[in-house]
Structure 1
Amino acid sequence: MKKMSSQYLYTFLLVTIILLWSYGWVLTKIGLSYMGPFTFAALRFLLASFAMILVLFFLKPTRPKGTEWIILFIVGLLQTTAMFLLINYGMMFVNVSKSSILIYSMPIWSGILGYIFLHESLNYYKVISLVLGISGLVSIIWFELFTIQNKSVIFGECLLLLAAISWAGANVIVKKYFSNHNKMIVSTWQMIFGTIGVVVAAILMEWGQPIQFTPISIFILIYTGVIASSFCFTCWYVVLTKLDTTVASISLLFVPLVAIFLDWLLLGEKMTINIAIGALLVTIGVYLATVVKPKERRKIERFSTNIKS
């Protein structure tokens, strides 16, 4: 009974994380109207890093050693500096729905980079997921590319795709060098190093530009920094240790879907047919790339081998 109660608690926590992350996408879009994209990212992650440092202070985990610091610095540049600068700048031109779908195509790119750099097998599931995922991305982008030809939107979408690839690159590095490490430590230190890069970019690119500090903008910064970044990532790592990995992977699929709904509900964005098709294809592609159980994959591979022989 106690174990079942704990499972309900962690499942509730997982649902909470999904909702908080999804709402964070909407608030980010609103927050960009109060300040420059790099400044927004800098203030957000200064708050997030401070909160994560407080968490580490109370947990008192072991520190990284030797060359691990250099690798964490590189991860920080990819996962925090590059990723969120690209996201924030891209979202200046792209709505929440498209942005969230493009970013959460990350597992598809992780599969490609894992195949190239980690020599992971590229089985039929991954190939199918890649085809579906890219088809979904094309479905999202083609409308501007071939119909409206809105160059600023296309530019923003390309930035968001680069952000997803940067996130995937960071994940591949973490998998190679930190698979057996405390992920809370990895997340905190990469965030700190990445924040330094974001702050430098904000100073170089947006120094002197106006910042509107209002109750709304301050709330958005606190929400995206402390709640959506620090709190949610801390809870995420707790959930990963307590729930089945499959359940955790599925949860990633719901963030862009809920974000699309909130984008329609709160910002009045219309759901076009190309976005709906793209969201469906990317979701199925990510599902095949990350969620299908290894046992089921082995069955498919054995079946395919038997056909060949």
Structure 2
Amino acid sequence: MQHQTNSFTAILQKNKAILWGLILTVTILWGYAWILMKEVLAYMGPFTFSAFRFGTGSIVLLMIVWLSKKGFPLKQYWKQLIILGILQTSIVFLFVMYGLRFVDAGKSSVLLYSMPMWSSLLAAKFLSEKLTSAKFIGLLIGMIGLLTILGWDIWIGQDISVIFGELLIIIAAVSWAVSNVYYRIKLQHLPKVETNAYQMLFGTIGIIIATVFTEWNHPVDLNVHSIYYILFTGILASALCFTVWFLILSLIDMVTATISTLLVPIFGLLFSSLIIDETMSVGVITGSVLIIVGIIIAQVTSKWNVK
């Protein structure tokens, strides 16, 4: 299995089209997942859903690790995996899911994907990655696109509960950015499936603890819809996508990888419009175009730093 993984990595290093195909697949799945994350709140509490979601993802990944006859990580990596799990899984999704109680699904995805800005700043500081003019301009245009999508209502006339939810999601974005840099520094050399399996397991334990203390007696409605939401987000949007995400982070520079995730809010807003009738305003369309332009400038006008 390790030989096959190395061969696949070598193919990705030589073929940017396949790598971009993976990035596009991940962003589409994450964009669609935002709709399910919002809709599932009608059936259970946000922390309970997160526990089901990442518990499912952890079980799937651990089964894959077991079937491939991989052992548990060496003890010297447990501390790092626990920290990564808390940053990447516990904090990000506890804060995001609670914030979704107050903020629309589309705008929530926009706020979380301020992550590239924080990742770029941290990468320049701790990874010594140079923020080229093209990447800086692309990132700036992308962030302007996010602000355009959010519109003036984020600055004026906001209910205090909505502001609270938005702040939680921004904190989640910062935590995700920190986890990206921490992974690159501490765990990049480890196998991707095992890394994601154990960080998700430890992160899920943190979510379960929070769920026990806050939603122990809350009603849970398990039906065809809610089970589908759990399975899709747990297996595809979590187990699969975050494994691919760690692979992408290990192959290209931080700025390139994270700027690409600005596509997620576009897909999130598109699916929100198509599935749950959230409005696609002129600001949303204009902001989406700016994000795409920003990504093109950052990628087309500069060479990928493929590792």
TM-score (norm 1): 0.79
Contact between 2:122 and 2:181, CA under 8 Å: does it hold in 1? yes
Distance 2:109 2:196 in 1: 21
Matched residue, 2:281: 272
1:214 to partner: Cα distance: 1.8
Once superposed, what is the RMSD of the aligned Cα atoms?
3.5
Aligned CA distance change for structure 1 residues 132 and 86 (closer, same or farther; 3 Å): same
Contact between 2:137 and 2:294, CA under 8 Å: does it hold in 1? yes
Contact between 1:111 and 1:126, CA under 8 Å: does it hold in 2? no
Distance 1:148 1:279 in 2: 24
Contact between 1:93 and 1:156, CA under 8 Å: does it hold in 2? yes
Aligned CA distance change for structure 1 residues 134 and 232 (closer, same or farther; 3 Å): closer
Distance 1:234 1:63 in 2: 17
Match 1:113 to one of 108, 113, 122: 122
Distance 1:57 1:178 in 2: 20
- CA offset digits 1:133-188 (Å, max 9, x no partner): 54344434452244432322222222222111111100000111122222222211
Contact between 1:100 and 1:259, CA under 8 Å: does it hold in 2? yes
Match 1:148 to one of 138, 145, 157: 157
Opposite residue 93 of structure 2, the aligned amino acid is F
Contact between 1:49 and 1:192, CA under 8 Å: does it hold in 2? yes
Distance 2:258 2:123 in 1: 17
Q: Which has the greater radius of gyration?
A: 1
Are 1:167 and 2:142 an aligned pair?
A: no
1:233-244 equivalences in 2 (<5 Å): 233-234=242-243
Contact between 1:108 and 1:129, CA under 8 Å: does it hold in 2? no
Matched residue, 2:42: 33
Distance 2:278 2:151 in 1: 18
Aligned CA distance change for structure 1 residues 284 and 272 (closer, same or farther; 3 Å): same
Distance 2:168 2:302 in 1: 33
Distance 1:295 1:14 in 2: 17
Distance 2:63 2:169 in 1: 31
TM-score (norm 2): 0.80
- CA offset digits 1:261-299 (Å, max 9, x no partner): 11101100102233334444455556666x4675489xx
Contact between 1:42 and 1:202, CA under 8 Å: does it hold in 2? yes
Aligned-pair identity (%): 38
Are 1:197 and 2:206 an aligned pair?
A: yes
SS across alignment from 2:261:
helix
SS across alignment from 1:170:
helix
Matched residue, 1:301: none
Are 1:81 and 2:70 an aligned pair?
A: no
1:1-309 equivalences in 2 (<5 Å): 16-61=25-70, 63-129=72-138, 131-141=140-150, 143-234=152-243, 252-285=261-294, 291=299, 295=303
1:114 to partner: Cα distance: 1.7
Distance 2:164 2:170 in 1: 10
Distance 2:89 2:113 in 1: 15
- CA offset digits 1:224-250 (Å, max 9, x no partner): 112321234456667889999999778
Distance 2:136 2:72 in 1: 39
SS across alignment from 2:225:
helix
Choose 141-150 or 277-286, whichever is displaced more. Answer: 277-286
1:29 to partner: Cα distance: 0.9
Contact between 1:129 and 1:286, CA under 8 Å: does it hold in 2? yes
Contact between 1:103 and 1:160, CA under 8 Å: does it hold in 2? yes
Choose 247-256 or 196-205, whichever is displaced more. Answer: 247-256
- CA offset digits 1:187-216 (Å, max 9, x no partner): 111101100000001111111111112221
